[in-house]
A and B are shown apart, each in its own frame.
Chain A
Amino acid sequence: MSAANAKSYVLLQIGNRRFALPSTEVSELAPPVRLHQFPHNSPLVSGIIVRRGRLVPVYDVCPLLTGKNSPSHQFYLVARRHFGSASEPAAIPVNGDSELVTADAVQVTSPKYVSGMLMIGEESIEVLDLDSLVAAESHENNRLDYARLNR
């Protein structure tokens, strides 16, 4: 690994664990704004927040990634989710402790929602692939991956 390959990542805290997202995918860290909810059947989607004049769906990934319910008062990390050639903003609840780091990621293949691993000091931090993590069709597979890895 060389410094030339190092990329910028946002480290975020979800529940009691730290994860990373490529900074190129992250738009902003939003304060604990109002979560608007209405009936729907989409897995993981907990509601909508309003950011910069846009309606941003919120994906509650905490139970999937940590096995625990999300804390009630939380910040939102707004990133981009891709749908073929299109994309839209997507928010995930995090606590307020986020930081920007430059590091090399080691590629990993499993679970599917992890695209790499960062070594920050003694800590290894999973780099999330947001599209894989929240895609409705892979929701069940991700849940099973989580259960298998945490047995």
Chain B
Amino acid sequence: MKIAAQDAVKARKGRRPEAVILFTVANQLFAIAAEAVQEIRSTDSLGSALEIEQQEIAKVRHTIERSHRTYYVVNACAHFGLRVVRPTLVLMLRQIRAAILVDKIERMAEISGLYALPHAFTGAERQWYRGLAYVDDQVIPVVNPLGFLTAEEFQRLDGAMAEASRRDLERAVQI
């Protein structure tokens, strides 16, 4: 049987180029649309982050107040099921009240097209990723910002926050 030669991924025509941020989590490279990120901050600057009392959603342990909004801080290692390492940066997302703990920003890049996730992938990754990009001979998953926390998870977190506030208020009244 003939062995086929290797060839490169062909650029797809007619697609709008998209700026992405390449970042790493536990040495794994991901991309996120640049326009989905409102702000990138060092975790050192998050002194005001509040620890929240809830155990249902293990990937969320803290909240950040920003522009009068409460952002839930999602540990990307826990979200993707990777070995947990100490994050150094947080990506504040634009579309949802979530901030993502990551290890490092590699660089910005422009992708010419997004490849649909093959049907072979049937698990949670269908929510995690918008698709795949091919950058510098590397296949990189492009994360779906809306996939970090579902509407149901937001509801549970908001409920846990409301309950914690109620308990704090009760304690304050007793004092």
B165 interface residue per 8 A CB criterion:
no
Contacting residues, chain A, for B115 (C-beta < 8 A): 55
Which single member of B81, B118, B124, B128 contacts A48 (CB below 8 Å)?
A: B118
User: What is the total number of residues of chain B having a CB less than 8 Å from a CB of chain A?
Assistant: 32
- Once the chains are docked, how many angstroms separate the CA of A19 from the CA of B58? 44
Is B161 close to A, CB under 8 A? no
A42 to B121, Cβ gap below 8 A? yes
Interface size class of A (residues with CB under 8 A): 35 or more
Q: Does B3 have its Cβ within 8 Å of any Cβ on chain A?
A: yes
Evaluate whether A42 and B139 lie within 8 angstroms (CB atoms) in the complex, with A29-B1, A33-B6 already known.
no
| Selected interface stretch from A64-72, A81-89, A102-110, A118-126 | A81-89
Q: When the two chains form their complex, are residues A53 and B9 in contact, meaning their CB atoms are under 8 A apart?
A: yes
CA distance A136 to B30 in the complex (A): 25
Q: How far is the CB of B76 from chain A (nearest CB, A)?
A: 10
Q: In the complex the two chains form, is A50's CB within 8 Å of B119's CB?
A: no
- Give A121 Cβ to nearest chain B Cβ, in Å: 19
Q: How far is the CB of A26 from chain B (nearest CB, A)?
A: 9
Q: How far is the CA of A102 from the CA of B139 in the complex (A)?
A: 38
- Given A50-B134, A53-B7, A53-B9, A41–B120 Cβ distance below 8 Å? no
Asked if B125 and A41 make an inter-chain contact with CB atoms under 8 angstroms apart, the answer reads: yes
- Which of A33, A41, A100 has most B Cβ within 10 Å? A41
- Interface contact A41-B81, CB-CB below 8 Å: yes
